[in-house]
């Protein structure tokens, strides 16, 4: 029997102060929950936060998923978040902090949403003081290894050619900042909530590079310099496991009596660490557990290498070993041993831990979170966009390990499994779609090199968007990936795991 704690939305905002780009499950279950808790608190207790009601959210989908925008509108913007501690305890929260939902992307039939003007007006409105983003790593259009704007991408090229009708997140931010500057309004702060190292600095890099390219075309009149000098881009570390919703998760919610098309299922754990740089003000996040700090760096690196690094290993090695979800994979003793070994021998020694956080305790907590079987977190979901994720999750740590003469066996097996994965054939010989901006390149590499392990692995390591030369050209790195790859070709992935989980 599940014990359900219900928390209703005690208050509704009076004004919109935040525009969010990327109305996905994560935004609804993370930032929106913190904002709702701020609002509920300001209603309930003596927090004296008279400003709380001015932090309502306008949330936009700028690429896909018109259906969700329609569902939220129909539901009067109220939805539920089910937070599972374990299969016996769930908190069901009602959220009412989103006050407007917009669609400017393309729906399944290729039709563009027509809310672009409303969105730009909202971003340029005097009341808008913060723009937040969850657009995933690829939504910044930066080359993952070097942080250079991908001007060859067709969406960025379109935003360079047509700055007034932007389609990308950097394009929308530049266009809205241009309007604010013209109207003499102060800029909003831009808060990235995506899993990238230095996500604030990277967001600034994408926005400033795009503005500079538009300036070259005579559109921006020094806008790039103005943005660099005037706009705050605080970094943040976000953490909550929020799998994509499936039919099974909607069924799970109906069993709790919650019939809500816009609902989200997630874990009970949640963390948000934010650099405190909001010139136009911010919600009193610290009252609801957000850690406001000067430097997010140590938190980000810890989370990216320990949690997300392990996730990517689970995704690639796990898929090759025939597992479907995180909970199923981590329940396997060989996989659990492998992840433990990665965390303790390859990730933890590279970290400058945040003050007061014990790395052993953090690792144990992660394994328990991965084991939460109320979440059907599909490995295939995590495996998506590997080209965008590998550098910060696995490669930066590998580089550090090698320079300190430590082994990278687990990381190398993860990279080798990723190369296998990009072929789109699982452990049972079934084919699947590989979803990644570099997908076409993977197809070409597999077609050109076939089963020749040596040339295939070297061709992958030569992808400079992912592997910087200083790492790829190290013999010890290439050798480690190559020998792991050969193991995967010669043996069943579960046998390889069994050996890797205990070897040292
Ligand atoms: C996952 C993350 O899909 C993925 O790549 O590793 O979304 C992960 O669940 C979150 O970062 C947890 O905070």
Confidence at residue 43, expressed as pLDDT on a 0 to 100 scale: 67
Nearest CA to ligand 1 atom 10: 241
Nearest CA to ligand 1 atom 11: 239
Query: How many CA within 13 A on the CB side of residue 239?
Result: 27
Helix spans in 217-332 (H): 223-230, 247-254, 297-302, 309-320, 326-330
Cβ–ligand 1 contact at 30 (below 6 Å): no
Distance 453 CA to ligand 1 centre (A): 30
Q: What share of the chain is helix, strand, coil (3-state, %, to 5)?
A: 50, 15, 35
For the cut 90, the answer to whether the pLDDT of residue 502 exceeds it is no
- Alpha carbon distance 370, 360 (integer Å): 16
Residues 6+ apart with CB under 8 A from 59: 19, 20, 23, 27, 32, 98, 100, 101, 102
Question: Which of the four pLDDT bands, split at 50, 70 and 90, describes residue 42?
Answer: confident
Nearest CA to ligand 1 atom 5: 382
> Can you tell me whether residue 10 is helix, strand or coil?
coil
Nearest CA to ligand 1 atom 3: 382
* Ligand 1 pocket: which of 195, 299, 418 to mutate (most atoms within 8 A of CB): 195
**Inter-residue contact 352 to 299 (CB < 8 Å):** no
Please choose, from the candidates 7, 2, 194, 172, the residue with its C-alpha nearest in 3D space to the C-alpha of residue 93.
7
Which numbered atom of ligand 1 lies nearest the CA of 195? 11
* Ligand 1 pocket: which of 382, 383, 389 to mutate (most atoms within 8 A of CB): 382
Distance 104 CA to ligand 1 centre (A): 25
**Inter-residue contact 273 to 286 (CB < 8 Å):** no
- Alpha carbon distance 242, 250 (integer Å): 14
Confidence at residue 219, expressed as pLDDT on a 0 to 100 scale: 60
- Alpha carbon distance 9, 6 (integer Å): 10
Tens digits of residue pLDDT in 266-276: 999 999 999 99
For the cut 60, the answer to whether the pLDDT of residue 47 exceeds it is no
Nearest CA to ligand 1 atom 6: 308
As a whole number, mean pLDDT of residues 356-364 equals 97
Nearest CA to ligand 1 atom 1: 382
Tell me the residue length of the chain: 504
Question: Which of the four pLDDT bands, split at 50, 70 and 90, describes residue 22?
Answer: very high
Nearest CA to ligand 1 atom 9: 241
Distance 383 CA to ligand 1 centre (A): 10
Confidence at residue 45, expressed as pLDDT on a 0 to 100 scale: 53
Which numbered atom of ligand 1 lies nearest the CA of 311? 6
Least-confidence region, from 16-30, 384-398, 487-501: 487-501
User: How far is C-alpha 400 from the chain's CA centre?
Assistant: 23
Domains of the chain by range and CATH?
3-293 (3.40.50.720), 297-500 (1.10.1040.10)
Q: What's the pTM? A: 0.96
Structure tokens at 389: 């994720």
- Alpha carbon distance 85, 63 (integer Å): 32
Distance 60 CA to ligand 1 centre (A): 21
Please choose, from the candidates 113, 115, 112, 219, the residue with its C-alpha nearest in 3D space to the C-alpha of residue 161.
219
Cβ–ligand 1 contact at 271 (below 6 Å): no
Nearest CA to ligand 1 atom 13: 239
For the cut 70, the answer to whether the pLDDT of residue 340 exceeds it is yes
Confidence at residue 100, expressed as pLDDT on a 0 to 100 scale: 98
Cβ–ligand 1 contact at 308 (below 6 Å): yes
Cβ–ligand 1 contact at 240 (below 6 Å): yes
Tens digits of residue pLDDT in 114-170: 999 999 999 999 999 999 999 999 999 999 888 899 999 999 999 999 999 999 999
Cβ–ligand 1 contact at 373 (below 6 Å): no
Could you give the C-alpha distances from 78 to 98, 130, 260, 307, 359, in angstroms and in order? 8, 22, 9, 31, 38
For the cut 60, the answer to whether the pLDDT of residue 220 exceeds it is no
Distance 214 CA to ligand 1 centre (A): 33
Confidence at residue 44, expressed as pLDDT on a 0 to 100 scale: 64
Tens digits of residue pLDDT in 76-117: 999 999 999 988 899 999 999 999 999 999 998 999 999 999
**Arithmetic mean of pLDDT over the chain:** 95
Cβ–ligand 1 contact at 381 (below 6 Å): yes
């Amino acid at each position: 029997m599940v014990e359900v704690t219900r928390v209703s939305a005690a208050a509704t905002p009076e004004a919109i102060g935040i525009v969010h780009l990327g109305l996905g499950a994560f935004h609804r279950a993370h930032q929106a929950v913190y904002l709702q808790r701020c609002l509920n608190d300001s209603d309930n207790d003596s927090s004296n936060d008279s400003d709380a009601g001015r932090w309502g959210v306008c949330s936009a989908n700028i690429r896909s998923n018109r259906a969700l925008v329609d569902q939220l509108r129909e539901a009067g913007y109220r939805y539920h978040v089910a937070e599972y501690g374990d299969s016996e305890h769930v908190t069901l929260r009602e959220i009412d902090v989103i006050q407007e939902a917009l669609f400017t992307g393309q729906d399944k039939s290729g039709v563009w949403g027509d809310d672009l003007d409303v969105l730009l007006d909202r971003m340029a409105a005097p009341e808008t003081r913060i723009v937040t983003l969850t657009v995933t790593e690829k939504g910044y259009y930066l080359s993952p290894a070097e942080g250079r704007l991908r001007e060859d991408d067709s969406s960025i090229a379109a935003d360079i050619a047509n700055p007034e009708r932007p389609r990308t997140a950097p394009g929308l931010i530049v266009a809205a900042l241009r309007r604010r500057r013209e109207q003499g309004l102060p800029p909003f702060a831009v808060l990235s909530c995506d899993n990238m190292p230095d996500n604030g600095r990277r967001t600034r890099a994408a926005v400033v590079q795009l503005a500079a390219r538009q300036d070259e075309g005579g559109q921006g009149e020094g806008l790039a310099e103005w943005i660099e000098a005037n706009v705050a881009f605080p970094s943040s570390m976000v953490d909550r496991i929020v799998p994509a919703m499936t039919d099974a998760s909607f069924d799970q919610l109906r069993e709790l009596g919650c019939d809500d098309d816009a609902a989200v299922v997630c874990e009970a754990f949640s963390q948000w660490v934010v650099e405190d740089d909001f010139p136009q003000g911010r919600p009193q996040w610290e009252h609801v557990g957000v850690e406001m700090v000067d430097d997010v760096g140590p938190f980000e690196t810890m989370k990216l290498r320990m949690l997300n690094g392990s996730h990517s290993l689970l995704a690639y090695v796990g898929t090759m070993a025939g597992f479907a979800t995180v909970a199923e994979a981590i329940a396997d003793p060989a996989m659990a041993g492998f992840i433990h070994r990665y965390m303790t021998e390859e990730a933890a020694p590279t970290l400058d831990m945040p003050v007061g956080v014990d790395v052993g305790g953090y690792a144990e907590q992660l394994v328990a979170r991965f084991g939460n079987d109320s979440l059907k977190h599909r490995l295939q979901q995590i495996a998506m966009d590997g080209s965008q994720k590998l550098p910060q999750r696995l490669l930066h740590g590998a580089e550090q390990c090698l320079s300190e003469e430590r082994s990278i066996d687990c990381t190398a097996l993860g990279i080798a499994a990723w190369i296998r994965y990009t072929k789109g054939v699982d452990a049972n010989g079934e084919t699947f779609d590989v979803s990644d901006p570099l997908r076409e390149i993977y197809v070409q590499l597999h077609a050109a090199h076939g089963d020749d392990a040596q040339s295939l692995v070297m061709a992958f390591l030569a992808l400079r968007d992912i592997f910087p030369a200083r790492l790829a050209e190290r013999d010890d790195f290439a050798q480690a990936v190559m020998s792991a790859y050969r193991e995967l070709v010669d043996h069943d992935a579960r046998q390889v795991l069994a050996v890797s989980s205990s070897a040292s």
